[in-house]
């Protein structure tokens, strides 16, 4: 078996609106993204596909605060119950610099407190989709813990921007964090997370920033030039027990394949001697040159070598889908990474 794929239809529940260029528009994160990947997986025909096991709620509460999890679960019903006219629950006020915010009692205040961007709203099916997405990551981690060499969680919504108690960047529950935490609970000694999405995974960094047992390494566009803007600088290396366990490799807009793979070498050279016995890959393929909201220049021919090179670490690996918004090519690029890994 080249790769185990875990997927479901839970993503179809979630439709998101975002504030973009001063207009409220449909999100780039649509159900079409997941279906593009499913079509490419089915056309390739060499991966085993399974459905998820039920999500262990305690697992998401191990990487997110309990207050935040309850907030996500109840936010849309509270929004409707309060008589708001908008089709999705969204905040409009966020804590300013220098604030020491206390969690408000009011829903609108909590929407600002528990989010960090206006690109992310909560609709009637958001909670179900987020739970379904996290269940894919949990199941993929379980199968790898059971001895499968590699598994791919075809998650949507994505997760790497979801912080301990904040959503944003199309992300609500942090799927990569769920997978890494599950591996630790199943006996992994130390887990490395490699994030290859165009955008920095500020949520994953936040969750594990002070931990020694789960390392985070990210290759991404310089936050001085790109979302999430305020996270992902090279000097962010961890704190407390996590000091030295966080490694950011910010790159300029317009980065080409050769420069990106040079950064990948640095990332793998950092992970290799770390003593990690499992790997989680936050697989964003929005590094693709035709991605509509990203600005790296990797061609389709870069993705199979990406998988091949990651495989050379020799670690049992969970892949978790993150970004990638060029829907026509998304599925093929994902399959190329997985096939490259599986054939190495």
58: CB partners within 8 A, 6+ apart: none
pLDDT (0 to 100) of residue 97: 87
Total tally of structural domains belonging to the chain:
1
Q: What residues make up the domain containing 258?
A: 4-343
pLDDT (0 to 100) of residue 19: 87
pLDDT in tens, 301-333: 999 999 999 999 999 999 999 999 999 999 999
pLDDT (0 to 100) of residue 75: 97
pTM > 0.75: yes
Quote the CA–CA distance of 234 and 240 in Å, as a whole number.
17
As given in the structure block, the two tokens for residue 259 are 């420069």
Q: Counting Cβ atoms within 10 Å, is residue 234 exposed (0-12), middle (13-18) or buried (19+)?
A: exposed
Residue 272 scores a pLDDT above 80: yes
Residue 1 scores a pLDDT above 80: no
As given in the structure block, the two tokens for residue 16 are 């998101």
pLDDT in tens, 80-89: 999 998 899 9
For 104-245, where are the E strands, in sequence order?
Answer: 150-153, 191-195, 214-221
What confidence tier does 335 reach under pLDDT thresholds 50, 70, 90? very high
pLDDT (0 to 100) of residue 2: 85
Domain CATH number, residue 106: 3.40.800.20
Residue 92 scores a pLDDT above 90: no
* Catalytic site residue from 14, 161, 199, 220: 161
Mean pLDDT on 91-100: 86
As given in the structure block, the two tokens for residue 339 are 């096939």
What confidence tier does 99 reach under pLDDT thresholds 50, 70, 90? confident
214-221 β-sheet, strand order: 48-50, 4-6, 150-153, 317-321, 278-283, 191-195, 214-221, 246-251
**161 a catalytic residue:** yes
């Amino acid at each position: 078996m080249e790769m185990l794929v875990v997927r479901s239809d839970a993503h179809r529940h979630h439709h998101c609106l975002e504030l973009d260029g001063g207009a409220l528009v449909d999100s780039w994160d649509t159900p079409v993204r997941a279906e593009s990947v499913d079509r490419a997986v089915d056309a390739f025909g060499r991966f085993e596909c399974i459905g998820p096991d039920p999500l262990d709620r305690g697992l998401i509460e191990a990487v997110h605060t309990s207050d935040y999890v309850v907030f996500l679960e109840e936010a849309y019903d509270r929004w409707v119950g309060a008589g708001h006219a908008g089709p999705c629950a969204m905040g409009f006020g966020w804590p300013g610099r220098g604030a020491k915010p206390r969690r408000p009692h009011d829903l609108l205040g909590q929407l600002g407190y528990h989010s960090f961007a206006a690109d992310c709203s909560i609709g009637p099916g958001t909670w179900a989709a987020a739970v379904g997405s996290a269940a894919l990551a949990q199941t993929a981690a379980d199968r790898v813990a059971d001895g499968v060499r590699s598994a791919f969680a075809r998650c949507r919504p994505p997760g790497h921007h979801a912080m301990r108690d904040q959503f944003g960047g199309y992300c609500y529950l942090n799927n990569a964090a769920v997978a890494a935490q599950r591996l630790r609970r199943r006996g992994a000694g130390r887990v490395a997370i490699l994030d290859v999405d165009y955008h920095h995974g500020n949520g994953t960094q936040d969750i594990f920033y002070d931990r020694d047992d789960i390392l985070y390494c990210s290759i991404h566009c310089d936050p001085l030039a790109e979302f999430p803007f305020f996270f992902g600088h090279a000097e962010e290396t961890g704190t407390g027990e996590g000091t030295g366990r966080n490694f950011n490799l910010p790159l300029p807009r317009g980065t080409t394949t050769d420069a990106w793979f040079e950064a990948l070498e640095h990332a793998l050279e950092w992970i290799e001697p770390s003593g990690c016995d499992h790997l989680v890959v936050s697989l964003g393929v929005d590094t693709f040159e035709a991605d509509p909201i990203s600005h790296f220049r990797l061609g389709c021919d870069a993705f199979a070598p990406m998988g091949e090179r990651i495989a050379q670490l020799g670690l049992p690996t969970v892949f978790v889908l993150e970004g990638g918004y060029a829907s026509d090519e998304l599925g093929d690029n994902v399959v190329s990474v997985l096939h490259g890994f599986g054939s190495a």
